[in-house]
Amino acid sequence: MSERTENSTPQVTRKSWNGRLARLLRNAIVCYLGIIIVMLFLENKLIFRPVRASEDWLKPPNVLVQDVEMWIADGTKIHGWWCPVPDGESERGALLYCHGNAGNLSWRSEAIARWQKEMNQSVLIFDYPGFGRSEGYPSEAACYAAADAAYDWLVKIQHVSANRLIIFGKSLGGGVAVDLASRRTHAALILVKTFTSMADEAQSVCPVLPARWLVRTRFDNLGKIKKCTQPIFIAHGTADRLIPFSFSQRLFDAANEPKRFCSMEGIDHNDALLPDFYRSLRDFLAVCAARQSVAHVSRN
């Protein structure tokens, strides 16, 4: 009797450990699948972080700012700020500003003031559906539609020549800007701290999950940038902890000429743009304008 008891003890112990390991593995798989399911349901909330105007709203950069209303095809009202420079004329062109995924347009008040100081250019910034004072709910398609409405307002209402309209996209706004630039006439495309695609960004943020294959929001900048034929200026911070620096490098490699890449040393994702950025941009736009003038004279 004692021999059978002693010999069975290791077997019982092994079965006990095997059972525990099996339960741990099963629980881990259930948790892993649960996280994936939750992320699928919450995808829009994870990507878009809107703040309504009633929750937080900053004052405009100056007294010249005008509130404007635009409508997308389904009737959703979009709110924007038209920020003209003093004595600004439509012939001088304008910047269409596509902002990032968080807050609302008023959070970019200082950025607009800085742009106007450095570039002496009027700016139209708009909120995506569900942001600030814009109606509706955010989605990839809704962001594209809002950008089209803002573009049409500049060209049809403000009478800005499409050939003098610069499209600017920062972070998630880069996805909006690239899509718009791939379809509509413009003077130049400026991308700051943006990504190759939402699939790449999702995988970068969640490396332990098959995020690339799960995310339905695409913002396929890498695929669309090849359709952008006007001058392209891309800038990214080397210390960006949210969107890898290499993403902008890949976008630049895929972009058509003329193009320029501005590497911002030590700049993180939410850091302000430094004077070197504006100096490089002014120089690039001036060179492109000079080339266009020469080409126009040659054709005539």
pLDDT in tens, 164-221: 999 999 999 999 999 999 999 999 999 999 999 999 998 998 887 777 778 899 999 9
Confidence of residue 272 (pLDDT cuts 50, 70, 90): very high
Higher-pLDDT residue of 7 and 167 is 167
Instruction: Report d(CA 216, CA 199) in Å as an integer.
Output: 8
Report the first-to-last Cα separation within the chain, whole angstroms: 109
Cα 16 → chain centroid = 52
pLDDT in tens, 103-138: 999 999 999 999 999 999 999 999 999 999 999 999
Report strand pairing: 259-264 vs 232-237: parallel
Closest CA to 179 of 150, 235, 123, 220: 220
Report strand pairing: 77-83 vs 122-126: antiparallel
Confidence of residue 222 (pLDDT cuts 50, 70, 90): very high
Confidence of residue 297 (pLDDT cuts 50, 70, 90): low
Cα 180 → chain centroid = 12
pLDDT at 280: 98
Note whether 134 and 77 are within 8 A (CB).
Answer: yes
Confidence of residue 3 (pLDDT cuts 50, 70, 90): very low
Closest CA to 143 of 199, 217, 214: 217
Q: Give the tokens for residue 68.
A: 């404007």
Secondary structure (3-state) at 77: strand
With a CB cutoff of 8 Å and minimum separation 6, the contacts of 215 are: 43, 198, 199, 202
Closest CA to 153 of 58, 64, 77, 53: 77
Confidence of residue 2 (pLDDT cuts 50, 70, 90): very low
Confidence of residue 269 (pLDDT cuts 50, 70, 90): very high
Q: Give the tokens for residue 41.
A: 């349901």
Report how far apart, in Å, the C-alpha atoms of 122 and of each of 54, 162, 260 are. 27, 14, 23
Report how far apart, in Å, the C-alpha atoms of 50 and of each of 38, 53, 91, 99, 292 are. 20, 10, 34, 11, 40
Note whether 248 and 191 are within 8 A (CB).
Answer: yes
Closest CA to 110 of 170, 177, 58: 58
DSSP string, 243-278: S-HHHHHHHHHHSPSSEEEEEETT--TTSPPPHHHH
Confidence of residue 91 (pLDDT cuts 50, 70, 90): low
Confidence of residue 16 (pLDDT cuts 50, 70, 90): confident
Residue carrying structure tokens 């743009």? 273
Instruction: Report d(CA 244, CA 256) in Å as an integer.
Output: 21
**Buried/exposed code over 8-27 (b: 16+ C-beta within 10 A; e: otherwise):** eeeeeeeeeeeeeeeeeeee
E-only strand ranges, the chain:
49-50, 66-71, 77-83, 94-98, 102-103, 122-126, 165-170, 188-192, 232-237, 259-264
